[in-house]
Amino acid sequence: MASLTKEPNGDAKRQSFWMPGNYVPTVHRTEQSFQACNDIVACFTERAKVEKQYAQQLSQWSSKWKSIVDSRPLYGSLMRAWQCFFTSAERLSALHSSISQSLMAEEKDRVKTWQKETFPKRLFCGFRESHGNKTSFTRAQKPWSKKLVKLEQARVAYHKSCQREQTALDKEKQANENAQMSLEKKQKITESRENVTEEKEKIRDRYEKLLEDVTSYTPRYMEEMEAIFEQSQEEERKRISFLKQAFLSIHRHLDITNNESVKAVYSELHNTLMSISEQDDLKWWKNNHGPGMPTNWPKIDEWVPPVKKLNRKKRDQKRKEGRPVMIGGVKVRAMYDYVGEEGDELSFKAGEVFLKVEEEDDQGWCRGVLNEGKEGFYPANYVEVAE
């Protein structure tokens, strides 16, 4: 989970995983993974807010300009094309709002739930995994570290003995080159140098034995350390695998390039734009605002007789008293257009012929039957007997 960096410069021996205490970055990897989950949640929570704000801005832009465009003098296919931008924006707004909700409701909860299940804590000891790894690494490294400390002490002692021997050799050389120094004194210097050399060899023997001990223990040490490290690697592998799937799921929500609804939005918008027709728009304008508009040119306006208001209560009373029915009826022709105002009234056009089946009452209404069979009342002064 830690970011990959270049190999650091410096003493490789000191930086090596095998050196005492250098397992710590592996132990800390658990805490870093836990923090990475917090960062991922915070990162994409902020992205969800961006998506939500963008959805709101799209909707606000669409509402504002739709009302403006509706009041503009554009018309026909050009107006439909312009309005299609707003319809598309509303659909895209809904899509981005959905993305925001998915990031918050699905991905955030998924990562938080997994984080809680994956990183159990021990009381006062941080994460259980970190504590376990640290304990295991420390236990495996402790014997080797002690041997390494003794080896380092032997190395320092050996190097100091070599330095003392070199000093004694230089002193012996100077004594041998001094002709004025007595043989007795030269002999003492030589004996002193021999003692130093003998002591150096003893220290070297101890150094070699300690090195042999460390070397013989190293395979066991490496085996134990690698076993603990591989357990840590397996836990990290699971974390990487989960977060890879989480990132892919987030990508699925954010990648609108393969979203069929987005393709449909822009496809419909493109088709609407391509359907802009100069000829259709010009024809529409001609028929609605130009010479193609229908016009009621001046002509004789024939007089239409007024219709007496039908008193239905009085008519129903008269009908109860009984009115003669005309056998076979009389054909009449409408002189004017009439549209019935009630369900029991007939509607007809001037020139239409139908049957009168009941004589005019004292309110000026007759009962008739149209050719299609509908029966009802009509004003008597709107018809004449057909010849």
Domain locations in the chain? 17-293, 330-385
How far, in Å, CA of 101 to CA of 119, rounded?
26
Reference 312, options 369, 363, 374, 357; nearest CA is 363
Structure tokens at 2: 């830690």
Reference 362, options 315, 329, 322; nearest CA is 315
How far, in Å, CA of 54 to CA of 51, rounded?
5
Whole-angstrom Cα Rg for the chain: 53
What are the E-state strand segments in the chain? 121-122, 126-127, 325-334, 353-358, 365-369, 375-379, 383-385
- Residue pair 178/206 in contact (Cβ under 8 Å)? The answer is no
CATH architecture of 17-293: Up-down Bundle (1.20)
CATH architecture of 330-385: Roll (2.30)
Structure tokens at 204: 């070297």
Which 3-state string (H, E, C) describes 19-34? CCCCCHHHHHHHHHHH
First to last CA, the chain: 105
Per-residue pLDDT of the chain (387 residues; tens, 9 = 90+): 555 544 555 566 678 999 999 999 999 999 999 999 999 999 999 999 999 999 999 999 999 999 999 888 888 999 999 999 999 999 999 999 999 999 998 999 999 999 998 888 765 668 889 989 999 999 999 999 999 999 999 999 999 999 999 999 999 999 998 988 889 999 999 999 999 999 999 999 999 999 999 999 999 999 999 999 999 999 999 999 999 999 999 999 898 888 888 889 989 999 999 999 999 999 988 998 899 998 888 888 778 888 877 777 776 666 666 666 677 789 999 999 999 988 889 999 999 999 999 988 888 999 999 999 999 999 999 999 987
- Residue pair 354/378 in contact (Cβ under 8 Å)? The answer is no
Supply the DSSP symbol for 345: B
User: What's the one-letter identity of residue 381?
Assistant: N
Which 3-state string (H, E, C) describes 178-235? CCCCCHHHHHHHHHHHHHHHHHHHHHHHHHHHHHHHHHHHHHHHHHHHHHHHHHHHHH
How far, in Å, CA of 172 to CA of 192, rounded?
9
How far, in Å, CA of 160 to CA of 268, rounded?
87
